[in-house]
Structure 1
Amino acid sequence: MIDYVFAVPETFGSAVSRECRGLKFDADGRIIGRPFHKFFNLGERERIEDIDWSAPHCILDKLDGSMVHPVLLDSTLVFMTRMGATVQAALAQTHADEGVLGLSRHLLAGGITPIFEFTSPGNRIVVAYDTPALTLLAARAMVSGTYLPQADLVRLAERFGVRAVTVAGRIADPKRFVARARQEAGIEGYVVCFDDGHRLKLKTDGYVLRHKALAGVQFEKNVLAWVATGAVDDVVAILPPDIAARVLDYQGTVNAALAARAREIRAFVDENRSLARKDFAALTMQRFDKRLTQAVFTAYDGKDPSIALQMLATRAAASDLKVDAVRDLFGMRWSVEGLGLPELEA
């Protein structure tokens, strides 16, 4: 499985890197699962004015659950999320009916990955859903990455009796559509799906809690929490451009430092893995700051130190005092000086 933990500004700078987001391979290196490529919020990398709205496209509902997709492992159908065979994926599979399973096998046999959204009262992110459901969102050719046309997807859903994502027509007035969509309540938002595979997310102001985001930027612990939990993408899309730019710069600094620490730890572990645990521990205490030792031992045990480092940053985000306690490890500095912060109602 190929995925990412930290994202710095240049992480998704190429078409290849945007595909490295949950790709799955078998033991012989053959691709067995290709979920969505990385795509962005409207305003995150493209403004309304930058987009050719005359290009063929449609509007899809953006559901608020977990993206799941099936793969075949030794002829057994196994559902996975972006990160692999997770608890959420296993739970989703328990709600896969004969239609979902039949459509999945049909497409996988043709080298195509079906992509579903799993929504459930027990898998709530923000929007509440009454009953568990698997909704067909898209399907991709595993090797080429080509998306099935939306019309074909609808026909397949009808054929197998599977729920498909709601599709609307093209956008005639982009600014008016965006303004209206941002004000909607009770939904996450929309995905604009172009026929050439390009996609854009548009989330409602309510979903990303603009008021809370604008209030939150005054405290570094909140900004660090957005970075540590991967929430920056959602937040910057609704912040004023000058504030969003500063948050993105802060994210780049923190994530670059986290990635550098992870590389340092991996190199140390690779060099000293042959040592007995007692000797390895003694050397670790000499070489690393005690705040990093948990991540070092995580790597020694064969796990990704990035996760432990991310947890360190997450715990530090509990208070500005704790942020100060790790500032020397990650080199970040937050200031709202010079930003035109709006006056917010309590």
Structure 2
Amino acid sequence: MEIEIRTLADVTPHLPQDAGLFVAHREGYSFVDYSYVTDGTFANSVAQQCRGLKFDEDGRLIARPFHKFFNIGEREDPSEVDWSGPHVVMDKLDGSMVHPAQIGGKLVLMTRKGLSAQARAAEAWASDGVWALSAALLAAGRTPIFEYTAPDNQIVINYPSPALTLLAVRDTVSGRYAPIEELRDLAATWAVPVVQVFEPIKDIRAFIRDGRALEGQEGRVVAFADGTRYKLKADAYVLRHRALAGLAHEKDLMRLIAEDGLDDVLPLLPPDVAARAHAYRNGLMARLHVLQREVQAFVETVTDLDRRQAAERITANLEPRLRKIAFMMLDGKDPWESVLVLLASAGRSSTQVDAMRDLLLTEWTGIPVGTDA
């Protein structure tokens, strides 16, 4: 998927409002990512690139991990895709995506959201080959992408020993993906593991059936020569990871939405249940945005007061359930991350959901017993 990006200014005009995409500024760098997904989040080709793009202090693009790609069947029927085009089927590893970047003159590893605990753990296990390959490709204007798997970084699948596996290489400016043959050559040259490749798709129905039946694996990724990608997750993996049966309870659906996990479950649901869950999420996100704007506007009126005066104003004027959010914003916390506290609180129990219902304006009737979900 080739979309030229050189600076942060090339991206920000294309970010849909109130759709989960955000720009975060950290010491020495910035990144663009998303915190949740609605119908409008990836409405254009630039927005689809916003999955951990990294920029330096001057706004220049310095690293380009994977673009946002979707589950088979998530956005169109599998029959609408030409599976006969040149493509590669790869193993979908169950770890943390990491990539290198130069920050303040230092070569580091990053996850989607930058210098994270998972990135630091990956650095501890990175081989000389990983560092050498990373330095060489970054200098050439390219971004290598790895998956960090380890016993202490287990998501669902247990990997017996730590590894950094080369998944892809992208041209940082254009976004072009390197062909699998080049990945293999790079892996051999620098002595790093490379992602496992399987036979191309001959029958999409059989591919989906067999992929969903996988045990002990997350799934498969299909990468076309033009950069288009799809993922397919095994049913057993998704069921364990996202607790599909928990959709019978609103608290679990809220927690699933808060963890950005609903998209992985939707393709496995009966169409009517998927449509209801989709509509529920959109309505909930719209309501949370209203609350965010209301609380943020109030906090802006007390930021010039001292702490005691600001606290008195918040306590006197805000609905009790919104006060914690206001104090978080007052302390400089991200407004959206602050308002998500409401979702986390409601997701603790059905009692909490009922206690928050008049504030969040939600209603979920669950999945009927016996539904094939």
TM-score (normalised: structure 1):
0.93
Q: Distance in 2 between matches of 1:296 and 1:4?
A: 22
Q: Distance in 1 between matches of 2:279 and 2:359?
A: 17
| Cα displacement string for residues 22-72 of structure 1 (whole angstroms, at most 9, x for unaligned residues) | 111111011111111111111211221121112211101000001111110
Q: Does 1:96 align with 2:126?
A: yes
SS state of the match for residue 222, structure 2?
A: strand
Aligned residue for 2:33? 3
Q: Does 1:311 align with 2:369?
A: no
Q: Distance in 1 between matches of 2:46 and 2:293?
A: 22
Q: What stretches of structure 1 move > 6 A for 4+ residues in a row?
A: none
Aligned residue for 1:127? 157
Residues 111 and 259 (structure 1 numbering): CA distance in 2 closer, same or farther, change over 3 Å?
A: farther
Give the alignment of 1:1-346 within 5 angstroms: 1-209=31-239, 213=243, 215-336=245-366, 342=370
Contact 1:67 1:115 in 2 (8 A): yes
Q: Which runs of 5+ in 2 are unaligned?
A: 1-30
Deviation for aligned residue 1:246: 1.0
Contact 2:244 2:265 in 1 (8 A): no
Number of residue-to-residue matches in the alignment: 343
Residues 266 and 211 (structure 1 numbering): CA distance in 2 closer, same or farther, change over 3 Å?
A: closer
Partner amino acid for 2:370?
A: P
SS state of the match for residue 217, structure 1?
A: helix
SS state of the match for residue 334, structure 1?
A: coil
Deviation for aligned residue 1:223: 1.2
Q: Distance in 1 between matches of 2:235 and 2:247?
A: 16
Q: Distance in 2 between matches of 1:287 and 1:4?
A: 32
Residues 210 and 94 (structure 1 numbering): CA distance in 2 closer, same or farther, change over 3 Å?
A: closer
Partner amino acid for 2:84?
A: S
Residues 7 and 344 (structure 1 numbering): CA distance in 2 closer, same or farther, change over 3 Å?
A: closer
SS state of the match for residue 200, structure 1?
A: strand
What percentage of residue pairs aligned between the two structures are identical?
46
TM-score (normalised: structure 2):
0.87
Q: Which runs of 5+ in 1 are unaligned?
A: none
| Cα displacement string for residues 215-267 of structure 1 (whole angstroms, at most 9, x for unaligned residues) | 32222112112111211011112111211111111111122222332233333
Contact 1:115 1:136 in 2 (8 A): yes
